Structure 1
Amino acid sequence: MLERKLSAISGTANALTDIIDTRRSLRLEWVIVVLIVMEVAIGCFQIITVAH
């Protein structure tokens, strides 16, 4: 009985840890995308300003 309850608690804890890791990974991916977009925008701005 106790082993079954501990197993259920362990499963729940693992699921919550996976959710937190997924959210952290998703946030990191968005930061990377934003940085890439900013780099492309700065590059385009530099090309436009040098062309004039």
Structure 2
Amino acid sequence: MVVQTRADVGDKSQERIADVLRQRFADVGLDLGDDRIRALAAEVAGA
């Protein structure tokens, strides 16, 4: 999911990436928590 998000929105802001990740994880029934989502968004953004 992280790899696909990177391909889809990796050039967007970290907040946008976090929003996309939240939605995708929610779609499959996973609630990772905001800290984990932000960490993944930073990873996707290359920060």
State the TM bucket, normalised to the shorter chain.
0.3 to 0.5
Higher percent of residues as helix? 1
Instruction: Give TM-score scaled by structure 2 length.
Output: 0.36
